[in-house]
Amino acid sequence: MYTLPRIIVALDFDCMKSALAFVDQLSPLQCRLKVGSELFTRGGPELVRRLVDLKFSVFLDLKFYDIPNTVAQACLAAADLGVWMVNVHALGGAAMMSAAKNALQSYGANAPVLIAVTALTSYNEKEWQGLGFKQNLNQSVVQLAQLTQQAGLDGVVCSAQEAAVLRAEFGPSFCLVTPGIRLAGNMHDDQQRVATPEEALAAGSDYLVMGRSITRSPEPEAVLMRLNSVF
């Protein structure tokens, strides 16, 4: 269900000024932008509005996880900011996810894409089992994705390692957003389940979340143009 551009640049900056200075180097025709917890805590709704005003499609990555009504109201607040995509935690359960989906119905075709986080790409198998899950990591991701689809959401966040299984299971209309994307030779940093852009696309990912491979490049727009030329 993807539409171009397919790259979502993670704005992992520690202040609004630095984030906006970086964004000045980019074009909304080449990428979308992700605002996560750190930057949103520092820049707040004002930052999101400024990015939207610059014509960027914004993924508000706050992973809402609370009682159903609270999450529903948070999703409405995100929609009011004009974001393109927002996410919740699938571990919040079916009632919570359904409440979020229902809350956005009033926006009709202008509703943000609503996806759910399955398992963070910072988890490995040992850490996942340490949380007390009986199923292995891949099995758990599939089960959480099933719950997400049943609740009516548009898709999930998953690693490239699970993307092929999820694409086969849920078909082409289920949106797969894959973080942990690194250019070949880049360090993994704090991510465990990583992939190159080519690997993630081959596995069936719709959108690729890329941070340091782009934000630390001296020519980020050139990196984006090179990547987009093969999509």
Question: Any alpha helices (H) in the chain, and if so which ranges?
Answer: 16-23, 37-53, 68-80, 94-103, 125-130, 137-150, 160-170, 197-203, 212-215, 220-228
**How many Cβ atoms are within 10 Å of 52's Cβ, its own excluded?**
16
**Domain presence at residue 195:** yes
**Domain presence at residue 1:** no
CATH of the domain at 74: 3.20.20.70
User: Distance from CA of residue 87 to its chain's centroid?
Assistant: 7
Q: How many domains does the chain have?
A: 1
List residues with catalytic annotation. 63
Q: Low-confidence residues of the chain, pLDDT below 70?
A: 1, 184-194
**Domain presence at residue 2:** no
Q: Which domain holds residue 14?
A: 7-228
Look at residue 113 in the predicted model and tell me its pLDDT: 98
CA count, 13 A, side-chain hemisphere, 181: 30
Q: Does the pTM exceed 0.85?
A: yes
Q: How far apart are the first and last CA of the chain?
A: 14
